[in-house]
Amino acid sequence: MFGFGLIKGLWVTFKNLIGPTFTVQYPDKRVGLFKVAKYYKQNPFSFLKSHPIDGLKSIVGQAVIKEYPDQFPRFRGQEFNWYEDRCTGCASCAKYCPLGIIEIETHPGENNIQEGTSYDIDVFDIDIGRCMFCGICVEACPFDALHMGSGFEKATEKREELVIAVDELRSADKRPSTWFRPQIEQSSYQPRDKEMDDFHDIGRHEKPTKEELTERWVNER
C-alpha cells in the first residue's frame, strides 16, 4: 500500500534514535560519576573524597575527561623518530623521498676517514609542511634508523616552525610506529601507551641473503 515505504523509513530512523551514538568526543568529553571514577581508576566513593569539586560536577554529569580516537600501531604519524647511533648519513631517505623534503648535510667523521663508514650529521631537516607521510623514506633506510612517529597534534603557528631540525629530532620522544618495522610489531609495543625506551634489542628487518641477491642481480640479468 502506498505509504508503507515511508513508514519503514521512519522506523529505521527511530531505531537509530534509541541506539548508541558513534561520536568520539575528542579532545575531552563530559561524563557522570561512574565513568569519571573509572577514568581515574578509583571506585566512586574514594573519587568523591579525593576530588570533591569534580565529584560534584560529575553528579550532574559534567565532569571532564580526556578522550582520544582509536589509533593502531602502524599509524603513520606526523613526527619522525631518528636513532642517531644507527644513522650513517647515507641519505637514502632523502634520495627516495618523492617530494625531496629531507635535507642532509654531513662531514666525514674523525675516525675511519679512509673507510668512510660514518659521517657526522650537520643538518638533517625534514619539512613536514610538505610531507605526505607516505613512509618511503622509512622503507628506504637500510639501517632502520628512521621511523615514522605516532603523533598527530603537531600544529604550529608559523610555516617555518614546521621544519623539524636535527636537534629536535635528537631530543624528541621516541614513539615509533610499526610501519615497515615488523620487528617492533612482534614485541607488542603500543606507541600510545609509553615511550619506547630500549630499541637496541630489536633486530633489523630481514634483508635478502647474499645468495638471493646474486641470483636476482647477477644470474638472471
Partner 1 sequence: MSIRTEPVTMNVGPIHPSTHGVFRMRVTFDGEEIIDVEPVIGYLHRGSEKLAEERTYTQVVTLTDRMDYVASMTNNQSYILSVEKLAGITPSPRGVWLRMIASELQRIASHAVANGFLINDLGAWHTPLLYMLREREKILEMFEMLCGARITNSYLRPGGVFMDAPDQFWPALNRFLDEMPHRIDDIENLLSTNEIVLIRTQNVGVLKKDECLNASITGPVLRASGVDWDLRHKNPYDYYDQISFSRPLGEIGDNHDRFLVRIFEMRESLKILRQCIENIQPGPVRPKEVPFLVRPPKGDSYVPIESPKGELGFYLVSDGGVSPFRCHVRAPSFINLTLLREMVLGDKIADLFVTFGSLDVNMGEVDR
Partner 2 sequence: MNTVMDSVVFKFIYCHLVSSNECVDSFRILGSGFISEKYSIIGFLITSLILILILINGALVGVLALIWGERRLIGRFQARLGPNRWGPWGIFTPVADAIKVMFKEDISPRLSDKFVFVLAPVLMVIPVLMIFAVIPFGKATFLTDLNVGVLFILAITSTNTLSVLMAGWGSGNRYGIIGGLRAVAMLLSYEIPMALAAVGVILMAGSLSIIKVIESQTIPFAIFQPLGFLTFLIAATAELNRSPFDITEAESELIAGYMTEYSSMKFGLFFLGEFMATIAASAVIVCLFLGGWRGPEIIPSHFWFLIKWILMICVFIWFRATFPRLRVDQIMELAWKALFELTLINILAVAILMLIWPDPTILELWIMTGINWIIFFVSLWIFGKLLGPKPEQKDGVSRKIVLQK
Q: Kindly state whether residue 70 participates in binding partner 1, applying the rule CB under 8 A.
A: yes
Interaction pattern, residues 95-134, with partner 1; x per rule: CB under 8 A:
-x-x---------------------------------xxx
Tell me which of partner 1, partner 2, none is bound by residue 1, counting a contact when its beta carbon lies within the kind-specific cut-off of 5 to 8 angstroms. partner 2
What does DSSP say about strands 119-127 and 80-82: parallel, antiparallel, or unpaired?
Answer: unpaired
Number of residues that bind partner 1 (CB under 8 A): 40
Residue 145 CA, distance from chain mean position: 16
Closest CA to 82 of 160, 152, 176, 189: 176
Q: Kindly state whether residue 20 participates in binding partner 2, applying the rule CB under 8 A.
A: yes
Closest CA to 101 of 75, 74, 136: 136
Stretch that binds partner 2, among 2-10, 31-39, 118-126, 148-156 (CB under 8 A): 2-10
How many whole angstroms separate alpha carbon 73 and alpha carbon 78?
Answer: 14
What does DSSP say about strands 146-148 and 63-66: parallel, antiparallel, or unpaired?
Answer: unpaired
**Contact residues: partner 2, CB under 8 A:** 1-3, 6, 9-10, 12-14, 16-17, 19-23, 25, 30, 60-62
